[in-house]
Structure 1
């Protein structure tokens, strides 16, 4: 199952083994990888060949001479990705779509019109999110959320001694160690980051005082999908308080809110028409 879940057409890692080679005969691949995966699970140690990645720079909009205008993707071993997929299949719930959250947000806006109430939405953006996560906090959160200690050990060991080489003009630089964050390009990274974000939101909104009244008994404080966050409040003052709390808890996990890219959207119902105003934090 895990071998078939790996997508074709992806660049191979440092070992130059493409996904297509592994999927050409799944039974043979499984018989070859199973003893290795079993040994990793028993000993908690990953292959040393898996700790290296090749870092590829993908340009974004803006001045190409500035580092912040590039997005980095790490090319990792495809057999490693198969093993990570095995771990994910054991830990992760069935996939959900971001359309679930979009639909919920639309319902909230429509309810604001119906109830003639103001609505503030803070679309929060983290600066260098994946690269900034504090790993010591991450290991604690894995245990906090009930991930078996054996799996925590495997994940942690896969980050020990982590190193990258940058692909520049077709050549590789010398290797350097990566001591913070989760790996761009790793199947496990979105799941790990999601645990951190979930803990941040649960901790910063634990008092349940500044959210939207969703049901008679419950408030809705935020809508999240991966690193896309939408904080919800009725008033400007409540939103300021909530944002400050989220920023403080985020900082304890190594994350910082990008003030330039974080936007607040204000909805105000007037005469059954929804008025919207957008501004920066």
Structure 2
């Protein structure tokens, strides 16, 4: 695990130990902020995510061609750098970029939902229905029924980050208890 995630886990452990919460009031919401979200997506992970959701190989090939051979230049003190290859990330400015990003993040949502030890918040007015994860472009939110689930959820999020290139930025993420 990266040092920042380890620090976040240590801080959350300390926070949950210091807060005396009963089963009724130990729910929490984790607002996730991914570091340089669009820029860090592993493209191979994107293409595999597209396969997972049933996209055709011809469409995946089209997306691959859009992202292959991209370069970036920088202007520093009035001088422009030579072109540098861009090997990761989703091409910003592309109308498909937000949707492609959501495909990648949806894999995290599936991983969280498939873990039987994680329970989402109950949906009012329903029987046995819960809500665990939601994502809108680069804003992702995790809803946990008990604060005791936080460390386990962070482990899944870290594993996802190692595969996808998307890593949580602890300083900009927020944890709310209620």
Q: Which of 206, 221, 240 is the matching residue for 2:132?
A: 221
**Partner residue in 1 for 2:147:** 236
Report matched runs for 1:59-98 at 5 Å.
Answer: none
Report matched runs for 1:255-270 at 5 Å.
Answer: 255-267=166-178
Max Rg structure: 1
How far does residue 171 in structure 1 lie from its aligned partner after superposition? 5.2
Instruction: Decide whether the 8 Å contact of 2:42 with 2:89 is kept in 1.
Output: yes
Instruction: Decide whether the 8 Å contact of 1:204 with 1:249 is kept in 2.
Output: no
How far does residue 221 in structure 1 lie from its aligned partner after superposition? 0.5
Q: Which runs of 5+ in 1 are unaligned?
A: 1-115, 268-281
* Partner Cα distance (2:177, 2:67) in 1: 42
Instruction: Decide whether the 8 Å contact of 1:201 with 1:246 is kept in 2.
Output: no
Matched, 1:179 2:80: no
Report which structure shows greater RCO (CA 8 Å, sep ≥6).
Answer: 2
* Partner Cα distance (1:124, 1:139) in 2: 23
Matched, 1:246 2:157: yes
Report matched runs for 1:1-281 at 5 Å.
Answer: 117-168=25-76, 172-208=80-116, 209-214=118-123, 215-267=126-178
Instruction: Decide whether the 8 Å contact of 2:102 with 2:135 is kept in 1.
Output: no
Instruction: Decide whether the 8 Å contact of 2:119 with 2:145 is kept in 1.
Output: yes
RMSD: 1.9
How many residues get paired?
Answer: 152
Task: Provide TM-score, normalisation by structure 1.
Answer: 0.50
How far does residue 164 in structure 1 lie from its aligned partner after superposition? 1.8
* Partner Cα distance (2:31, 2:165) in 1: 19
Instruction: Decide whether the 8 Å contact of 1:232 with 1:239 is kept in 2.
Output: no
Task: Give CA deviations for 1:98-120 in whole Å, capped at 9, x if unaligned.
Answer: xxxxxxxxxxxxxxxxxx64430
* Partner Cα distance (2:100, 2:75) in 1: 26
* Partner Cα distance (2:129, 2:154) in 1: 20
* Partner Cα distance (1:207, 1:217) in 2: 17
